[in-house]
Amino acid sequence: MATPKQVKILGRYDLNQIARAIMYWEANRRVFKGNEIIDEPDQTEAIKSAKCNRATFERHPDATYPNDCKLQFDGDPAPADHEREWSGDMIVEAKKKKVVLYRSKTKP
């Protein structure tokens, strides 16, 4: 099994920017598996957000592209035609928030 890829996603990003960052990495036939909140190692970025996200990606099991995803705050209504795939804490606009990743039921 391939080693998971860990990617820093800036803590100043909003939900849409985080979702786009996830889909960017998934374009390389990887799939989002989880997130960990860490201290921002970059001094310049730390001014904007003291914390950042370290997202983990694994090779997609059948070497295809995962369906598009959407991130929403926990408690917000689920988007139509999407399934809940992951939930957890992320830094969103420099604040720790509980979020849910929904995956589209239709291929891109």
Q: What angle do CA 88, 97, 81 make, to 5 degrees?
A: 60
Write the pLDDT tens digit of every residue in 80-100: 999 999 999 999 999 999 999
Which pLDDT tens digit goes with each residue over 30-82? 999 999 999 999 999 999 999 999 999 998 877 677 889 999 999 999 999 99
**pTM exceeds cut of 0.85:** yes
Q: 8: which strand partners? A: 54
